[in-house]
Structure 1
Amino acid sequence: MGTQGEFKRDMNYISTRITADGRDGYPVEPGRYRLIAARACPWANRAIIVRRLLGLEEVLSMGVAGPTHDERSWTFDLDPGGRDPVLGIERLQEAFFARDPDYAKGITVPAIVDIPTGQVVTNDFAQMTIDLSLEWTKFHREGAPRLYPEELRAEIDEVNDGVFRDVNNGVYRAGFASSQESYEKAYRRLFDRLDLLERRLERQRYLVGETITEADVRLFTTLARFDAVYHGHFKCNRQKLAEMPVLWAYARDLFQTPGFGDTIDFVDIKRHYYEVHTNINPTKIVPLGPDLSGWLTPHGREELGGRPFGDGAPPGPPREPVPSGHGATDGR
């Protein structure tokens, strides 16, 4: 937390990379690594989506932490016996300490763990999804999308930079502000950026180019949580997403695209924010709303053209589906 009450995210991550040539000591190898994610977390949700879109499920296994955690670590309370079935650990913290017994930074998801040693390789969420696109290409499914094409990278990076500062991290800067001034500054930056995105998306279906890219993945995970959490819990309440017509249609378009909405667990999302952030919600009461049926209504974005997967094809049904009743299909 800054001196003026502004929220400052710790961006000191383990930056080791898993690459095709293994230059950091960790070459891409099928079956060697395990992605540890939590469906509640928007940063981890990015990795879940990209892994699914690229078809990496068979070569990069995934462990899913529960929606709540304490100050020490995410836990594997969704698994039998409360242990990850592959790594055999109860807390993600154990994999970080296996890498560095004196590790003093945040225990965060997503993280990729080296299964043979049980050590975390990286928790650098921003680089992680880029590397899944560029370094794991040998193992992409047939028809996988080009999420970070070379000819669009400069524009993708520019869009991502503004979205991260003002939207992805902006909702946290509003929610965790400890002064009125810092809250109002974050609030205004958030909605100014959302207004810019509304105008950008009025005439184009996706953020950059004619297909889905890394930029769409990064914005989507925040939009998916907006009405369920950020509007009320983080006081981002000028409008609901459902009251911003362009962004709401854009978000529904992506939600209904295989690989996006089928990764969203609204139950875990709400439990995480409302039960863990006791400084904001000391009663830990989890709201019943909002009504989720709107996510499945027609969006009309096809009229703008574009092809979500370009010359490729959508992924098949999810191999690790969201638990029944946790998505939008039942309209709750």
Structure 2
Amino acid sequence: MGSYVAKTGEFTRDTDYISTRITADGRDGYPVEAGRYRLIVARACPWANRAIIVRRLLGLEKVMSIGFCGPTHDERSWTFDLDPDGVDPVLKIPRLRDAYFKRFPGYPKGITVPAIVDIPSGEVVTNDFAQMTLDFSTEWTAYHRDGAPQLYPEPLRAQIDEVNERVYREINNGVYQCGFAGSQQAYDDAYERLFSALDWVSERLAAQRYLVGYTITEADIRLFTTLVRFDAVYHGHFKCNRCKLTEMPVLWAYARDLFQTPGFGDTVDFVQIKRHYYLVHSDINPTGIVPKGPDLAGWLTAHGREALGGKPFGNGTPPGPPPENERVPAGHSV
């Protein structure tokens, strides 16, 4: 996916994404416009899961369509194998790579999700997942639903950015640095950084319901998509095994609180998550066996986090149920 393991064994993610932005003023040539763009995701991918959640919380479903790739892919590209005949019904392409190549012939880097495609031209606009969700909050405000939450409120942006930076470096990406480490020392170092950071967010969340402020923000969404995959994948597959999420009381309660919030748990597909990691990473799991566990029933148990105060959506309201054609398949979640 455009990343590599150094000679000393450290996994390094290539973060040189397509930096084009879709903005209200259209300064990069792509103005915010209803119906023009298609968000391409895979439910398996934590980076894409963020975009799915933010789009849903802000109510952008009616102005930005969504296309789902299957949970597995080959070296060349994510594919639309969930769609009839394996072709995206809007873009009319079988591989996400086709949209990348349409704009950048022979694009040499990883074909990643989430990606936003310009429907009229069939060209990829951006795959910069970190900027993408911030732009949903700040550039697409004209199309936010009534009652949409403030996920990136101006007074808290510096604090959110600071939290996000460490969460990304040591947790979101940290699990990968454990899983893809090419030496014992690189793994040991990544493991220590990961669990030190998990202890740090746990301490922070012991006395407050959300990471920054009194409502759900972008920071919570970014941490959630790693936590929700922790026991199903990262604990065993990536050797992040000091303890399971269910053995970290504060983070387990926090993750359940978010999971039970509309827009979070209803975007999570555990079947696809496990199929992706255990089948695609054949270097880590050469047998291709997908584990049956863990038991997911605990995700719906009481979490008690309401006692800390805070309002999930501030003065806003929860999103309604997901559109019929965007629901996680029956049996794929809790």
TM-score by structure 2 length? 0.98
Q: Of residues 144, 159, 162 in structure 2, which corresponds to 1:158?
A: 162
**Corresponding residue for residue 134 of structure 1:** 138
Letter in 2 for 1:322: V
CA positional deviation for 1:12: 1.1
CA positional deviation for 1:171: 0.1
Secondary structure class of the residue paired with 2:35? coil
Q: Of residues 193, 206, 217 in structure 2, which corresponds to 1:202?
A: 206
In structure 2, distance between residues paired with 1:291 and 1:195 = 24
User: Is residue 274 of structure 1 aligned with residue 278 of structure 2?
Assistant: yes
In structure 2, distance between residues paired with 1:214 and 1:171 = 20
CA positional deviation for 1:3: 2.2
Q: Of residues 54, 58, 63 in structure 2, which corresponds to 1:54?
A: 58
Q: Of residues 319, 322, 333 in structure 2, which corresponds to 1:327?
A: 333
Secondary structure class of the residue paired with 1:217? helix
User: Is residue 16 of structure 1 aligned with residue 20 of structure 2?
Assistant: yes
CA positional deviation for 1:2: 1.4
**Corresponding residue for residue 285 of structure 1:** 289
1:153-232 superposed matches below 5 A:
153-232=157-236
CA offset digits 1:79-102 (Å, max 9, x no partner): 001000000000000000000113
In structure 1, distance between residues paired with 2:232 and 2:7 = 30
Secondary structure class of the residue paired with 1:310? coil
In structure 2, distance between residues paired with 1:197 and 1:317 = 30
Q: Of residues 29, 39, 42 in structure 1, which corresponds to 2:43?
A: 39
**Corresponding residue for residue 151 of structure 2:** 147
User: Is residue 79 of structure 1 aligned with residue 83 of structure 2?
Assistant: yes
Secondary structure class of the residue paired with 1:233? coil
Q: Of residues 248, 255, 273 in structure 1, which corresponds to 2:259?
A: 255
In structure 1, distance between residues paired with 2:106 and 2:90 = 24
**Corresponding residue for residue 245 of structure 1:** 249
User: Is residue 311 of structure 1 aligned with residue 291 of structure 2?
Assistant: no
In structure 1, distance between residues paired with 2:182 and 2:106 = 30
**Corresponding residue for residue 7 of structure 1:** 11
Letter in 2 for 1:55: G
Letter in 2 for 1:327: S
In structure 2, distance between residues paired with 1:84 and 1:323 = 18
**Once superposed, which parts of structure 1, at least 4 consecutive aligned residues long, lie more than 6 Å away?**
none
In structure 2, distance between residues paired with 1:175 and 1:2 = 14
In structure 2, distance between residues paired with 1:81 and 1:3 = 42
In structure 1, distance between residues paired with 2:13 and 2:259 = 27
Letter in 1 for 2:282: T
CA positional deviation for 1:190: 0.2
CA positional deviation for 1:212: 0.1
Q: Of residues 108, 111, 126 in structure 1, which corresponds to 2:112?
A: 108
Q: Of residues 296, 301, 325 in structure 2, which corresponds to 1:297?
A: 301
In structure 1, distance between residues paired with 2:130 and 2:296 = 29
In structure 1, distance between residues paired with 2:151 and 2:171 = 20
Secondary structure class of the residue paired with 1:201? helix
TM-score by structure 1 length? 0.98
Secondary structure class of the residue paired with 1:253? helix
Percentage of matched positions with identical amino acids? 76
CA positional deviation for 1:199: 0.5
In structure 2, distance between residues paired with 1:168 and 1:298 = 26
